[in-house]
Amino acid sequence: MNGQRQHGNTRNQQGVRERKKQAVMATDNVAVELRDALTKNAKRVVDLFREWDEDGDGNVSKKEFRKAIPLIVQDVPKAAVDQLFDDWDPDKSGMISLAELIKKLRR
């Protein structure tokens, strides 16, 4: 019985690793698609930021980010949007500043 439990745990761990891998790949794809969309539409990052910053506080919250990304990149899993936000919020403030957004989009 213990061997079966260990085998089940191994499969579960593999499943978790696979889901994490898929989320990372989706996050990378969203970032690339976002950069491409900006280039195609000749949008400036500051203009994009202003559109996303609905409350005008000078930062983009995760809620604002979740609303904005699907308007630019179609069929994005929520987990990928959340992961992208977390990656683009290096100070983990829960907000993305204009400087943080510029840094990520200009890579």
Helices in 1-106 by DSSP H: which ranges? Answer: 2-40, 45-52, 62-72, 78-88, 98-105
- Give residue 54's pLDDT: 96
User: Are 104 and 85 in contact, with CB atoms under 8 Å apart?
Assistant: no
- Give residue 73's pLDDT: 81
- Give residue 86's pLDDT: 94
Residues of the chain falling short of pLDDT 70: 1-12, 15-27, 38-39, 41-42, 107
70 Cβ contact list (under 8 Å, min separation 6): 76, 81
Cα separation, 25 vs 27, in Å, equals 5
- Give residue 77's pLDDT: 86
Count of beta carbons in the 10 Å neighbourhood of residue 81: 21
Whether pTM exceeds 0.75 = no
- Give residue 3's pLDDT: 52
